[in-house]
Structure 1
């Protein structure tokens, strides 16, 4: 038999089991086995929650692939595509350039990847739990929250630090909530200022019971025991948004300093690029696990839609199914190499196990149902012997035995959190920065509006002095001057921002000339305006009421369905040189000016072009309840001549506009009268 090349993409349970089975039956001279995995280790994912809860050393949940598969060529380059027609894979090589490699057989076992974008703000503010890196970061964060709470003098803030929210009531969510609850509550005795009443662990699940994979009685037992341990269960609840302060469900907002999301996954990029049938983001296979329409490409694990011949149902994405698929896929490849017919995948579930914290677990094994400590002991024993090497079994077993007697390890590595670029989501009313705090970040608004709130002896609760909209930035003055924040900034509407840490901001602003110029102009505009240089002008502004300056909305209001031809005729028949574009309920969507019309007429647009393509979308607005100070600062910030006035930030119903010319004239008139 000519030497074959067999490539395995993915180093999870299925890929590793397939590689071990193939190597056991194929000599090195018969086949070249190559396994691609971005990490050089296998992650034993059922134990990630234990690593978060410090009941396991973080290194005990991984096994180096080179030591696990000594006769398999292991590579950490990322596979970019699988060319099924040419029997080649494309991968990103060590130097960043794409390279190709042919194969005789390829097994796709790369699983899925986390996708927290299923809920607005979740990707920005929640911790996933998919990789060992996720577990390490989450563990460090939980322990840092304990340290912050210990020295916090504000009772409400202390409780916020000690509030943990876990989203998802499947295996990962239940195990994570149980472990975090055990870690935090079991560590309180080492902190003199923390009380058990301050701790809150909330598990949110969209169904009426946890763990839908197991029997109803065991589900009920799991919920009962977790409640007894101090975990608050919120069932039949869907998280609709996440912010830096907590999560929103239906008409309620649950505050918490830590959000863990165990729901949300998406197709791996390499799967998305493959030209082969898919269903629900999974590769469609024949009964023997070959990709439909292919003779030498196979798929196993989470990324594949494999029908289990045992019951005719699609195989679930669990570790025991992935391992069995990996073994049988290898056996089918051996049959193909030997000219024998393949066999359909068939597997009877051996059991289900889940730890729920407090040395309790639930289990269904070989038709028996177990719960409590006996189930926990069985759970630990089964997973201990499923670890793929004896060295790991000894390490993990010792850790488990050690923690039955001694407390959990509270040490953690503290990393620099300011040198980063990230995204954040805020809901209306959420504070992004607070007056008086030390500067750490620079913010660029991607979507929405924020308002600047400044407290003073005359107005200790603060007054809104400015509005900043999408495409603009804030937070630069305090960073550049290294002084405490002189005002607070809070979300006026749902807001998406890019967050640059101090180090990144300093590096970029010093190196990028356009940003440096924009910062200089912004600081000059905000600190050296007519209003700030003339205190009497500020006093004049404070004496005015915004309602005295609101002028009627230019008529007619233009619907979003209007065309360029319609809008041109409106401009020809009416005097104003700008009109507002609205949707249902007179909701402001944009503003179109005479300049927009002239530009559109001279460009590639036709009379059939919809007005939304030529207007200024989501323009900066003033609320009818705002002060004249806010209007003046907006004119200063954006150099606008007019600003639309809306009833409120939610409805954005247009009620009129305010003119910079009229406002300035009134101020000058009042100053002249003095």
Structure 2
């Protein structure tokens, strides 16, 4: 029986395996998914997780609950050697081992792209995974608790200063949602005022949200600035040492919470540890039918989709265009990829992937958003409703859709939950202190000031 090995359990990997289960008989192929995480993260909901509008676990789709016929291996793939049709698997426990396959599907996804800026690795939090979104929320809530007992001054200001680096979709949505949460929190903290808050969005280009056209992008800037945000365009982060941010424009300020959302980088396994053909950017070279290879030559039994694949965009008027690495493409590529694998197994020809964009929609915080499809632009409350409606339909499985809707419904009547669970990130602190292990307790308390530990 053939073994179809899926490297990566994100959007593309999860949907590929899910659809293969539905389209193949049990005796046709063994499906294997390898991913270090036991769940698929629905990344468009991470800004709402950071704002407390959605429970963290509801933005994660457990693989074992939905992939009933798939063999799941929770480990990392460190090398793909297609010449021998093997991958090197590194589990969290035990020794690395080789696993063979008949067909490989590379959906490893991209990784957070960073630059050698002093202090970033030590002090910033990403926003690509659920635990990072939770840490941002808990850190903000904890900062409010600590700032409320301090007199006005630099210590209070630092605690209530938040900086997002990167003005793409995840950065703008995360920034807008956390700004909305911070503004709402003021009702519960009479000791603090709106003037105590300081939110900064730093973008190296001269505009934010490159996925929309110029005028809607300018509207987003104006909308955020009306809510008290500081938008730094044409500004690069030069240093973040000790939480002190220095910008290329000469501006400097201290920030307790620094969130890095400055784009994605090539997955190192795909870019450096495979004999499959890759582009100069480190993405797998893919044909329009999602088989690995070039228009002239196919690499047999190798497929790829998602953020780590350079998929030709046949719907674009620009010759040679590559599909944008987003969820809209990853999900649809996975569905086409599964159909194409089944077709080839049945002796049929695969079809090309073609998808015309459904438009872009973004949340800018509770009750406001922006939507654009070609020349149609919708802003404000209606766009925010469209954002929620689209994503509750897009998140896989009815179970997750219902859970998310129930959380939103409860917030209408009871508001957002403002309990910080920052302490769960250091579960031994209380135990170590109570048992007299002060060295351990002191070390974990010191970790509290290191954002990188989250």
TM-score w.r.t. structure 1 length? 0.61
Match of 1:287 in 2: 288
Shift of 1:122: 1.0
Q: CA deviation at 1:203?
A: 0.8
The equivalent of 2:278 in structure 1 is 278
* Distance in 1 of aligned mates of 2:427 and 2:48: 29
- Give the Cα–Cα distance (whole angstroms) in 2 for the partners of residues 213 and 384 of structure 1: 21
Structure 2 residue 356 is the aligned partner of structure 1 residue 343: no
Q: Secondary structure at the match of 1:308?
A: coil
- Which residue does the alignment assign to 2:360? 352
Counterpart in 1 of 2:326?
318
For residues 305-348 of structure 1, give each alpha carbon's deviation from its aligned partner in whole angstroms, at most 9, with x where no partner exists.
Answer: 11112224111110010011111111221222122222232211
Measure, in 2, the Cα distance between the counterparts of 1:320 and 1:408.
29
Equivalent position to 2:391, from 383, 396, 404: 383
Corresponding residue for 1:393? 401
**241-250 or 32-41: which moved more?**
241-250
Match of 1:370 in 2: 378
Q: Could you say which residue in structure 2 is the equivalent of 1:138?
A: 136
Q: Give distance in 1, aligned partners of 2:104 and 2:152.
A: 58
The residue that corresponds to 2:89 in the other structure is 91
Cα contact 1:36–1:75 (8 A) shared by 2? yes
Measure the CA separation in 1 of the matches of 2:245 and 2:445: 29
Instruction: Say if 1:118 and 1:264, in contact at 8 Å, map to a contact too.
Output: no
- Separation in structure 1 between the aligned mates of residue 126 and residue 406 of structure 2, nearest angstrom: 28
SS at structure 2 position matched to 1:296: strand
Q: Distance in 2 between matches of 1:286 and 1:153?
A: 61
- 2:335 matched residue in structure 1: 327
**Conserved? CA contact 2:74–2:91, under 8 Å:** no
SS of the aligned residue for 2:414 comes to: coil
Tell me the secondary structure at the aligned position of residue 59 of structure 1. Answer: helix
The structural deviation recorded for 1:413 is 1.7
Alignment of 1:186-265 (within 5 A): 186-250=184-248, 251-265=250-264
Q: Distance in 2 between matches of 1:501 and 1:114?
A: 32
Rg larger in structure: 1
In structure 2, relative to structure 1, the CA distance for the partners of 1:505 and 1:149 (3 Å cut) is closer
**Structure with higher strand content:** 1
C-alpha deviation, 1:36, in angstroms: 1.1
> Match for residue 146 of structure 2?
148
In the alignment, structure 1 segments of 5+ residues that lack a partner are 421-480, 483-499, 507-674
In 2, distance between residues paired with 1:327 and 1:93?
A: 28
Tell whether the 8 Å contact from 1:246 to 1:258 is kept in structure 2 after alignment: no
Q: CA deviation at 1:107?
A: 0.5
Residue pair 1:418, 1:503 contacting (<8 A) in 2 also = no
Aligned-partner Cα distance in 1 for 2:415–2:171: 23
Cα separation, 2, equivalents of 1:369 and 1:419: 47
Match of 2:435 in 1: none
Deviation at residue 352 of structure 1 after TM alignment: 0.6
- Compared CA separation, residues 246 and 71, structure 1 to 2 (3 A): same
C-alpha distance in 2 between matches for 1:21 and 1:245: 46
> Matched residue of 1:188: which SS?
helix
Deviation at 1:45, TM superposition (A): 0.3
Task: Work out the CA distance in 1 between the residues paired with 2:91 and 2:194.
Answer: 52
User: What is the Cα-based RMSD across aligned positions, in Å?
Assistant: 2.4
* 2:4–2:103 Cα contact (<8 Å) kept: yes
Contact 1:5 1:31 in 2 (8 A): yes
Deviation at 1:366, TM superposition (A): 7.2
Instruction: Quote the offset at 1:369 in angstroms.
Output: 2.2
Q: What is the CA distance between 1:373 and its match in structure 2? A: 0.5
Cα shift readout 1:106-149 (whole Å, capped 9, x = no counterpart) = 10101112243443321111111010111111211111111110
Question: Match of 1:307?
Answer: 312
CA shift in 2, pair 1:405/1:236, >3 Å? farther
> Larger RCO: Structure 1 or Structure 2 (Cα < 8 Å, ≥ 6 residues apart)?
2
Per the alignment, residue 650 of structure 1 pairs with none
1:266 aligns with 2:265: yes
Confirm or deny that 1:407 pairs with 2:406: no
Contact kept? 2:136, 2:257, Cα under 8 Å: no
Please say which of residues 52-61 and 373-382 is displaced more in the overlay.
52-61
Q: Which SS does the other structure have where 2:383 is aligned?
A: helix
Worse-superposed segment, 217-226 or 355-364: 217-226
Residue 298 of structure 1: aligned partner: 303
Deviation at 1:90, TM superposition (A): 1.6
Check 1:505–1:213 CA distance in 2 against 1; reply closer, same or farther (3 A cut): closer
Q: Which residue of 2 aligns with 1:586?
A: none
C-alpha contact (below 8 Å) 1:239/1:249 kept by paired residues: yes
- The residue number in structure 1 matching 2:434 is none
Distance 1:118 1:346, change over 3 A: farther
How far 1:263 moved relative to its partner?
Answer: 1.1
Among 53, 58, 61, the alignment partner of 1:63 is: 61
Q: What displacement does 1:71 show?
A: 2.1
Deviation, structure 1 residue 162: 0.5
2:210 and 2:369 mapped to 1: Cα distance? Answer: 15
Structure 1 residues 372, 417: closer, same or farther in 2, change over 3 A? closer
Question: In 2 relative to 1, CA 233–93 (structure 1 residues): closer, same or farther, beyond 3 Å?
Answer: closer
Indicate if the aligned counterparts of 1:226 and 1:357 stay in contact, CA closer than 8 A.
no
CA shift for structure 1 position 216: 2.3
The 3 A distance-change label for structure 1 pair 101 and 391 is same
Q: Report if aligned partners of 1:283, 1:305 keep a CA contact under 8 Å in 2.
A: yes
Whether the aligned pair in 2 keeps the contact of 1:244 and 1:257 (CA below 8 Å) is no
Distance 1:35 1:93 in 2: 13
Give me the whole-angstrom Cα distance separating, in 2, the residues matched to 1:344 and 1:388: 24
Deviation string, structure 1 residues 190-227 (Cα, Å, up to 9, x no partner) = 11311111001111112222201112232122122111
